[in-house]
């Protein structure tokens, strides 16, 4: 730099700013690394707890189904009828869960966000606006 510019206050401020940037960026990167490490440990614990909960829930469900079957046998029905009752209950609950999953799948694709972010013809069709029937040649023919 020439001696003319070195005496300017803004140049000194700019040099100070450039000198500070590596430290600030380094601190932010170190914080990010530590938080990612902490988050990965948390995710591993969450995965283990979800697996344990699933196993305990399945065990509880089997105990409930066994209790229902024993209750039906205690009422005087045979084992095949008891097992059929448990099977029907399980199938009905599975059907209800799958119906709910089918309903929720529509929202997984983020339809409102996709409509909002679409441009041109895609945006008009996504928003339900009618498309022009004839192609336009210039900007002056575009209706608002």
According to DSSP H, which parts of the chain are helical? 3-6, 9-74, 79-108, 111-117, 120-127
Buried b (16+ CB within 10 A) or exposed e, 8-30: eeeeeeeeeeeeeeeeeeeeeee
The pTM of this model reads 0.52
Q: pLDDT of the chain along its 144 residues, tens only?
A: 555 555 677 878 878 788 887 877 788 888 888 999 999 999 999 999 999 999 999 999 999 999 999 999 999 999 999 999 999 999 999 999 999 999 888 778 777 777 777 776 565 565 555 545 554 444 454 444
């Amino acid at each position: 730099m020439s001696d003319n510019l070195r005496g300017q206050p803004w140049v000194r401020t700019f040099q100070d700013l450039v000198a500070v940037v590596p430290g600030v960026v380094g601190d932010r990167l170190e914080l990010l690394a530590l938080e990612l490490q902490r988050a990965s440990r948390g995710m591993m614990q969450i995965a283990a707890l979800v697996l344990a909960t699933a196993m305990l829930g399945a065990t509880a469900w089997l105990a409930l189904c066994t209790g229902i079957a024993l209750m039906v046998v205690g009422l005087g029905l045979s084992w095949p009828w008891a097992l059929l009752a448990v099977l029907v209950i399980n199938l009905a609950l599975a059907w209800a869960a799958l119906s709910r999953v089918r309903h929720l799948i529509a929202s997984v694709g983020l339809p409102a966000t996709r409509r909002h972010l679409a441009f041109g013809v895609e945006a008009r069709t996504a928003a339900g606006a009618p498309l022009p029937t004839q192609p336009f040649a210039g900007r002056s023919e575009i209706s608002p």
